[in-house]
Structure 1
Amino acid sequence: MSSLDLGDVAPSTEVLVAPVHLAGAGTTEAAFTILDNAAGWTKTIAFDTDAYYTSPCQRVRIANPVESQYGGWTITYAEDPLGVPDWITTFDRGTPHEIVAAFTETLVQSLPNHFRDYFSDGRRYTGLGPEDVLRRSNWQPLHGSRPHWNFSPDGHAALRTRSGWLHEYTELLTPERSMWRLSGGIDPVHVPSWRAFFTGNTPQHLRTAAAIALTSPDPVPRFAGDIPERHRDLVQVYLAEPTASIPRAEAALARRPYALHPPAPEAAAPTPPASLAAHGRSRRQR
């Protein structure tokens, strides 16, 4: 299967794109389908656009507001349904939907017995953490960095692990201060195209599910026109098989010019290892 030249296909052409961290957000259909079909979950629509979900146990609340600072999805868990959340995960509107869907599906499946299946004596326990998944996919750590950074082989996706003590309420109130941040883009450190934040108590098996989706080598379905303009020289694109069709109505609703307005740069952070940066430059020059 040979890669396509995006200049030769119409924006409405259904294609397969790799890697996922540069493919663009795609549609929100998968995550909505998971939650709409989850037994006992309730859904509320506000302002005709914003969707809010609550789990049967009232411990998990999920919001998908169209207009907010981050957009995308905010997922909270509180052991006491009326108390302060124990953890919060935020996926901004540019996050590839495969990552959001993997996290959400694992959450829905593991919630009925309060994640016990994923404890060390549980039937679904694997012992794998997200860092193990990344290492297995040849991600490289940037030694000596604070905070700690891991980079994908192409240098265009990164995991930041915050260092130092921080009051848990601070990271609950400010996603950028979360313990972990996944991001992707030409410069995933300083000017990422998308970001996902996980506070310190976010269960390991949920973060691992997100990491598995992020590192999958399988190309993902997109419309050619939805691939971010600045990523087009960095992705491999193939004609989609008929079974990989994308719901056009959902895609139309999900299309937003987010790739043109990346998140504001954060505080100074290290650049990827020189070998990874050189690799990225060589691909863009081809």
Structure 2
Amino acid sequence: MTRPDPLRDIDGDVYVSPRYLASTTGVGDPALAPLLELGWDLRHDDLGNTFVHAPDRRVRLGYLPEGEDDGLWRINAYRDPFGPPTWGACFNDRVPTEVVQAFTTVLATAYEQGPDTYLARPASGSDEHDPFLAVVPLLKHGWEIDRPRWGVFAVQAPDGLAGMEFTTGDLDPEAELTTRDARWQLWAGKSIDRPVWYATASTDTPVALLTAVTECVADPAPLPRWRQETFSYIKGMAQLAPILPPGPPAPTPLDVQRAVSSRSQAAIHAPSVPRWSTTSRPALPGPRR
């Protein structure tokens, strides 16, 4: 029987650590899958952009490789399908695909639970919807509180190569949906002004969706990537470890016991073989022809 290969589904030849420096895989299917599995409508335009709509048109996703800017993923939710978005999130073209997948996975679950979940507004002091709950996964993994400028609360990764900012005060709702001037901004790279990637979320983005993103980013497990495709993005910042085929598994006590038992049984049933010794008489010569 062929032994299963635990690496057969790994798409890459190196592990990238920390994972927030891994950049995109260049494949959008994993992040689209949670929504398509719910039967959401899938459309394409002539340029190669992809659009996914919830059955009631209250949530819409655009995967826009041929969009007007570097906002590769744009996801909006609506209280009124014909009104302005209630909240919006954007992931640029280098965000790790796993981060977007974490967002869409929780979005799919929230949509099944109904509008009270996927349109739930953050509320300070709430046990479930306090916006700062989204920061907790980062703090648990050693990210530190930072005060980059007035009116901004921020946390930063221990190596200074990633951060998350929360802007206080009133913001322009339209600018939140179309620029980086949003309530939340997550980035990775040299600095927020020179990021490898960034993601934004507007004021009323549900806390559960934000937390899905920060939990994914804070996860210490590395991500697999192809060295040739990602090294230019992360040169000098990330650690790369080769993905090697696994060695043979260590024998278990049961394996050892079976091996000893098998050798013992073989010895018992082995045929008797005469052995020569110094006391043995030499063989008599046979008759001559």
What's the TM-score once normalised by structure 2's chain length? 0.71
C-alpha displacement at 1:242, in angstroms? 6.3
CA deviations 1:237-256 (Å, max 9, x no partner) are 2233669xxxxxxxxxxxxx
C-alpha displacement at 1:236, in angstroms? 2.1
Change (3 A) 1:241 1:76: farther
C-alpha displacement at 1:86, in angstroms? 0.2
The one-letter code sitting in structure 2 at the alignment partner of 1:99 is: V
CA distance in 1, matches of 2:164, 2:104: 19
C-alpha displacement at 1:48, in angstroms? 5.3
Q: Which residue of 1 is the match for residue 227 of structure 2?
A: 224
Q: Which residue of 1 is the match for residue 63 of structure 2?
A: 64
CA distance in 2, matches of 1:207, 1:221: 23
Q: Which residue of 1 is the match for residue 13 of structure 2?
A: 14
Q: Which residue of 2 is the match for residue 236 of structure 1?
A: 239
Please say which structure displays the higher CA radius of gyration.
2
Over 3 Å off, 4+ runs: 115-120, 125-128
* Secondary structure in structure 2 of the residue aligned to 1:112: helix
Q: Which residue of 1 is the match for residue 157 of structure 2?
A: 152
C-alpha displacement at 1:177, in angstroms? 1.4
Question: Which residue of the other structure, out of 115, 134, 141, is the alignment partner of 1:130?
Answer: 134
Task: Compare 83-92 and 127-136 and name the one that shifted more.
Answer: 127-136
Is the contact between residue 38 and residue 108 of structure 2 (CA under 8 Å) also seen in structure 1?
Answer: no
Is the contact between residue 24 and residue 226 of structure 1 (CA under 8 Å) also seen in structure 2?
Answer: no
Does 1:164 pair with 2:169?
Answer: yes
Is the contact between residue 186 and residue 231 of structure 1 (CA under 8 Å) also seen in structure 2?
Answer: no
C-alpha displacement at 1:209, in angstroms? 0.1
C-alpha displacement at 1:82, in angstroms? 1.2
CA deviations 1:106-142 (Å, max 9, x no partner) are 001111222656979xxxx697821111111111112
Q: Which residue of 1 is the match for residue 104 of structure 2?
A: 104
Change (3 A) 1:117 1:81: closer
What's the TM-score once normalised by structure 1's chain length? 0.72
Q: Percent identity?
A: 26
* Secondary structure in structure 2 of the residue aligned to 1:40: coil
Is the contact between residue 111 and residue 117 of structure 2 (CA under 8 Å) also seen in structure 1?
Answer: no
Q: What's the C-alpha RMSD, in Å, of the aligned pairs?
A: 2.5
Question: Which residue of the other structure, out of 200, 203, 223, is the alignment partner of 1:200?
Answer: 203
Runs of at least 5 residues in structure 2 that lack an aligned partner in the other structure: 1-10, 123-127, 247-289
CA deviations 1:173-212 (Å, max 9, x no partner) are x33111010000122x211111101000000000000000
Is the contact between residue 59 and residue 75 of structure 2 (CA under 8 Å) also seen in structure 1?
Answer: yes
Does 1:143 pair with 2:147?
Answer: yes
The one-letter code sitting in structure 2 at the alignment partner of 1:205 is: A
Change (3 A) 1:48 1:67: closer
* Secondary structure in structure 2 of the residue aligned to 1:159: strand
Does 1:45 pair with 2:44?
Answer: yes
C-alpha displacement at 1:39, in angstroms? 1.8
C-alpha displacement at 1:19, in angstroms? 1.0
Runs of at least 5 residues in structure 1 that lack an aligned partner in the other structure: 1-11, 244-286
CA distance in 1, matches of 2:158, 2:17: 13
